[in-house]
Amino acid sequence: MSESQKEESGYSDFIREAVAKDLKEGRYKEVHTRFPPEPNGWIHIGHAKAIYVDFEVAASFGGKCNLRFDDTNPEKEDMSYVEAIKRDVKWLGYDWEDREFYASDYYETLYELARKLIRKGLAYVDDLDEEQIKEYRGTNVPDKNNITYTPPGKNSPYRDRSVEENLDLFARMRAGEFPDGSKTLRAKIDMAHPNLLMRDPVMYRIRREPHYRTGTQWCIYPMYDFQHPLSDAIEGITHSLCSLEYEIHRPLYEWFVSNCEVFPSRQIEFARLNLTHTVLSKRWLIQLVREGMVSGWDDPRMPTIAGMRRRGYSPEAIRDFLGRIGIAKTDSMVDIQLLEHCIREDLNKKASRYMAVLNPVKLIIDNWSEDKIELLDAVNNPERPEAGSRKIPFSKVIYIESEDFREVPPPKYYRLFPGNQVRLRYGYVITCTGFEKDPETGRTIAVHAEYDPDTRGGDAKDNRKVKGTIHWVSAESAIPFEARLYDYLFEPERPMDVAPGHSFMENLSEHSLEVVPKAFGEPAIADVPVGETVQFERIGYFCKDPDSTRDSAVFNRTVGLRDTWAKIEKKNS
């Protein structure tokens, strides 16, 4: 992100400044944050930003960060989601040690705090159903100048029940005496408040739904806006850092903290992550999974942490990306090419190099002996000399990319065509002498060449100028594998920008995945562990997929080698 982009987005270190001020003024003696996911899906790169902010801000002040599961919606929650979230947070490089908590552990305490509000005359049991509550609350409407305002709502007819009656009804709600949805517990605040969330929000609802941790012990469940600030308070959270959409919830957060007379946690909001060509809403990601538009939560096209890990992204690169975009006060769109730039920078330093051919055509070296096999030296990673080198077999018949030969070359084409010379990576300088075609399809099925034995390693001793260098794989020892070429899941930069009556699903790209069933790699790729990302020279970075078997490897394209972002940044600077 350039300095001008930072300025436009409201980028600053305002959270750390606010925390430092709180410590200096004695508001808090230490810093204690939390990452509070709801276990109803797998976390994505947007959650990764929240994780980064929560853990890194705490670390900046020598503080602590909890991992707390806000599990108060039993219809959608599952222990498998808890385990997936824990795995992904740990993979990102963060450890919560012994500070793992669950809102469901606080149900009894939350129940008693609700009773406290009832006794103070600040909560009541309501018999209005969900639709009636919405109707009584009112809504935002435009005036004659098309400026939105909120007319006052109207009080529920049950709002003035006595404290004794409310305590009795609430206890009977807990005991399961009433049908689901027949009663709620609401905070008594102000039905004329300009913020609709402050108009007597629901605190508890009746739901006979087994909870993945508490079973059937409870049939009433606290709502998020009631549970969240009080769970923060129970844990002694000093700074409740959350995304910008919760700014409108802050008055309610503070109301519950103040009137329940609990630890005074402070809510501070920051801009959420918006990424081009990407949807970052759990609701829409669930839809993609359920409708089979992707293979699952860990599909490498998904922006989930599991999907990015399977695609070959590294946690170091993701943290680098999150550090570069910083913490802003206003929402903005981040170009996904910045993330890809961070991935390339990280992998360039540590990924081992191999040669592979995705769309092979045979290259026959006519003046090479039929049974001769030579081992050539290849560098494992030029960025890390300590990574050493490996041996690559070279034989009479090798595979090259079909695009590296043209019968009639276009302008400025420096690869193989009749009469032209190229270097074979780590090998020899060769001269194209001819080619063979399939008589039926007209497709080139073999290219013929002669090698210069004095050019081993690719260097011509007579200093001739050879402009082109191509990669190759010996046909005699080639390892076949499946290559999955992943691209953006959505075609447009802003997938959610759709006309009324249309769905974001219409923006799914037809080119997000191309499967190459039989690519070829050098023998060393057989030893690449599942989950490791390597560079296939001149092609891109690829990660060995868990679908791989002993006899059939699968490699996912992580990202190509071309770095458009780096060129843009260089131009801007």
Predicted confidence at residue 13, as pLDDT, reads: 86
Predicted confidence at residue 289, as pLDDT, reads: 95
Query: Is 272 tagged catalytic?
Result: yes
Among 205, 272, 310, 396, which one carries the catalytic annotation?
A: 272
Tens of pLDDT, residue by residue over 342-380, are: 999 999 999 999 999 999 999 999 999 999 999 999 999
* Among the ranges given (83-97, 181-195, 413-427, 461-475), the one the predictor scored with the smallest mean pLDDT: 461-475
Amino acid (one-letter) located at 486 = Y
How many Å apart are CA 113 and CA 123, to the nearest integer?
11
Among 161, 188, 282, 311, which one carries the catalytic annotation?
A: 282
Q: Which two tokens stand for residue 259?
A: 């009137």
Tens of pLDDT, residue by residue over 62-93, are: 999 999 999 999 999 999 999 999 999 999 99
Q: Are 375 and 391 in contact (CB under 8 A)?
A: yes
How many Å apart are CA 514 and CA 88, to the nearest integer?
27
Domain boundaries, the chain: 102-222, 354-478
Tens of pLDDT, residue by residue over 473-494, are: 999 999 999 999 999 999 999 9
Tens of pLDDT, residue by residue over 26-61, are: 999 999 999 999 999 999 999 999 999 999 999 999
Give me the long-range contacts of 98-102 (CB less than 8 A, separation at least 24): 99/64, 99/65, 99/66, 99/67, 100/66, 100/67, 100/68, 101/34, 101/66, 101/67, 101/68, 101/69, 101/231, 101/235, 102/68, 102/69, 102/71, 102/213
Write the secondary structure of 483-517 as one string of H (helix), E (strand) and C (coil). Answer: EEEECCCECCCCCCCCCCCCCHHHHECCCCEEEEE
Instruction: Identify the CATH class of 354-478.
Output: mainly beta
Identify the band that residue 572 occupies on the pLDDT scale cut at 50, 70 and 90: low
Query: Is 309 tagged catalytic?
Result: no
Predicted confidence at residue 463, as pLDDT, reads: 73
Query: Is 557 tagged catalytic?
Result: no
* Among the ranges given (43-47, 206-210, 324-328), the one the predictor scored with the smallest mean pLDDT: 324-328
Predicted confidence at residue 453, as pLDDT, reads: 93
Q: For the whole model, what pTM was predicted?
A: 0.91
In a 3-state reduction of DSSP, which class is residue 51?
A: helix
| Record: fold of 102-222 | Glutamyl-tRNA Synthetase; domain 3 (3.90.800)
pLDDT at 224 over 60: yes
Once rounded to an integer, what is the mean pLDDT over residues 298-326? 96
Among 34, 38, 68, 269, which one carries the catalytic annotation?
A: 38
